[in-house]
Structure 1
Amino acid sequence: MKFGLRTFKTAIAAPIALLLANGLGLESAASAAIITLLTVTNTKRSTVKTAINRFFSLTLATGIAGCCFLLLGYHPLVFGLYLFIFIPASLALKLGEGIPVSSVLITHYLVAQEMSVRLIINEYLLMSIGVGCALLANLYMPNTEKKLQADQMVVEVAMKKMLKDMALHLNQSKKEEDLRQECLALLAFVKEAQKRAQEFEENHFFSSNGYYFEYFAMRRLQLKILTAMLQILHRLTAEPEDVIELQELLEFTAETLSEKNDGSEILLKITELDQRYQEKELPENRQAFENRAMLFQIFQLFQEFIEVKAGFYRDK
């Protein structure tokens, strides 16, 4: 069983909310603990956003419930009418997450058969204690930057190896299929790393530095391009002399691939190589023509692969 930090903080914050609500003599004090339970999230920013939305949702619910109960009475069917109005209104205002919490608080009016100022204040105090304890619980978040930097190293080492293997095993369709599976596995790893990068960013209130998130987004796009290249290479049956320049290009890229490389030197080599291919004589048979066309596709994809990195470098 996984016992994470969020579980630990919720298990501490919820009882504290209950104790505070009881200490203030609030009615339905257990609701404060439930609100805390439903408000603690994985990041600081998302917890703050959820907390603010809770208050907007409660205000909307209180207004609708007041119109319904004060005009039609405190009856279960009137509560149904309240839900019929409140739920669509909440969804329209993007306050859907607050529907369960606010509606639970509204049932306190139904049970008490009144909507006095005292009871309304009681509900807002329950909400304040609940979200307040959730916010305090999420003030501490572990710094995951070293983990993200380690993830970067894993990705770059794996991509270097993949490019070297591509260069080594050109025209070997079985090996290229294995490489495609490796590429898909690495793509899944990068996707998870990008999620961690987003959480890292959302745990910094006053920082808009999305560097790690954008870095992994860039690598995801590059890996998708590599997957497309490997699908073409799987069908390629060119002569060794026709692919030697592609092998050299892949090897050079594997040797120079790094976070800080802007890709300009590789782009220059691709341009020169494309020029040499343009100057070659046309193939004499259909198979050679198809291989030439596939090589041209590969070069185009590889140029896109490098341009993705160059664009990321320029933006930084």
Structure 2
Amino acid sequence: MQFFTSAAILTILCIQTTKKKSLHAVYTRFVASLLGMLYSFIAFETFGYNPYVLVIMILLFIPSIVSIGVTAGFISSAVIMMHIYSEANFTLSLFYNELGLMTVGFGVALLVNLYMGDIQKRLDKYRIEIEELYKTIFSEIYKYLEVGDTDWDGRELIEAEKLLNKAKSLAYIDVENHLTRRENEYYLYFDMRERQLEIIERVLPKITTLPVIVQQAQLVASFMKELSENVHSGNTARTFRDKLDIVKKEFAELPLPETHEKFLAMASLYQFIEEMDEYLEIKQTFKGLKGKK
């Protein structure tokens, strides 16, 4: 082949971060290159092989690829057009040569992109780390309600937010690496956990600003302790919502507050219970990850 080193350039231009992007890159570059050869044949064979024709042709070529949505293929097509310009003779042999370069270059790019490392283990690692952070957060809430422990600095909340952003990005890449898949169960899982984190961040002030620790706090503490021990990707939300209903009933059976401070504490705890019910409702809508507890 003539200009055989250009096949490497075409390959590099088509290698992308995901399979879907790579396939789209090959499509845009292939279409743009074919169009570039057509423009070259018409322009050079009609008006001659000179720099002025080349410039005018490129100026007309750019709007054409923009209009059909293959702008990303401009560099690849420019490589092909310069080959034709440098040969100064558009022959059938040259046409086949350029098709061969495109086939090798784009084909190798697709083969390279077919191998995308399995990111399942990384997604599972993120899942486990996030669940551990949630366990710690609930455990700290339990400790505060049970014994008034206030040493927690809340760093797990910040870590969970950062980890969820990384996990969702990785799950999206996994979707892009499967040509027939439109969604990823891990992405849905991390999105669910993100919405739950918003609730956790919203309800924490209701707990940490209790004016006094009332008797009802023990009921909530027991529930949070059990919840902290059962944070996983399976769907047990219905079970814990039933437990929360029992807490609400026991909460209502306890004596009414005797002071204004106790009233405020009880009101905050009840609001916390309602928010946790919403937290569990979000989890209940998620079907769970296949093969996970």
What range is the shorter-chain TM-score in?
0.7 to 0.9
Residue correspondence of structure 1 range 177-192 to structure 2 within 5 A: 178-179=153-154, 181-192=155-166
Q: 2:197 aligns with which of 223, 228, 231?
A: 223
Post-superposition offset of 1:289:
7.0
Q: Distance in 2 between matches of 1:65 and 1:185?
A: 56
Structure number, greater radius of gyration: 2
Residue correspondence of structure 1 range 42-81 to structure 2 within 5 A: 42-65=17-40, 69=44, 74-76=49-51, 78-81=53-56
Q: Any conservation in 2 of the 1:156–1:258 contact (CA below 8 Å)?
A: yes
- Using a 3 Å threshold, how does the CA distance of structure 1 residues 301 and 107 change in structure 2: closer, same or farther? farther
Q: Distance in 2 between matches of 1:231 and 1:89?
A: 58
Q: Distance in 1 between matches of 2:191 and 2:242?
A: 24
- Is 1:237 paired with 2:188? no
Q: 1:148 aligns with which of 85, 100, 123?
A: 123
- Using a 3 Å threshold, how does the CA distance of structure 1 residues 34 and 182 change in structure 2: closer, same or farther? same
Please tell me the root mean square deviation across aligned C-alpha atoms, in Å. 3.7
Post-superposition offset of 1:55:
1.4
SS at match of 1:239: coil
Post-superposition offset of 1:89:
4.5
Q: Distance in 1 between matches of 2:62 and 2:258?
A: 67
- Give, as a single letter, the amino acid of the residue that structure 2 aligns with 1:46: K
Residue correspondence of structure 1 range 29-108 to structure 2 within 5 A: 29-65=4-40, 69=44, 74-76=49-51, 78-108=53-83
Q: Any conservation in 2 of the 1:262–1:313 contact (CA below 8 Å)?
A: no
SS at match of 1:220: helix
Q: What is the number of equivalent residue pairs in this alignment?
A: 287
Q: 1:121 aligns with which of 91, 96, 105?
A: 96
- Using a 3 Å threshold, how does the CA distance of structure 1 residues 224 and 91 change in structure 2: closer, same or farther? farther
- Give, as a single letter, the amino acid of the residue that structure 2 aligns with 1:240: I
Stretches of structure 2 that go unaligned for 5 or more consecutive residues are none
* Alignment-derived partner of residue 134 in structure 2: 159
- Using a 3 Å threshold, how does the CA distance of structure 1 residues 252 and 267 change in structure 2: closer, same or farther? same
Q: Any conservation in 1 of the 2:130–2:164 contact (CA below 8 Å)?
A: yes
- Using a 3 Å threshold, how does the CA distance of structure 1 residues 253 and 73 change in structure 2: closer, same or farther? farther
- Using a 3 Å threshold, how does the CA distance of structure 1 residues 291 and 92 change in structure 2: closer, same or farther? farther
SS at match of 1:138: helix
* Alignment-derived partner of residue 132 in structure 1: 107
Q: Distance in 2 between matches of 1:110 and 1:67?
A: 12
Q: 1:307 aligns with which of 275, 281, 287?
A: 281
Q: Any conservation in 2 of the 1:68–1:81 contact (CA below 8 Å)?
A: no
- Is 1:212 paired with 2:186? yes
Post-superposition offset of 1:88:
4.7
* Alignment-derived partner of residue 226 in structure 2: 252
SS at match of 2:286: helix
TM-score normalized with structure 1 length: 0.72
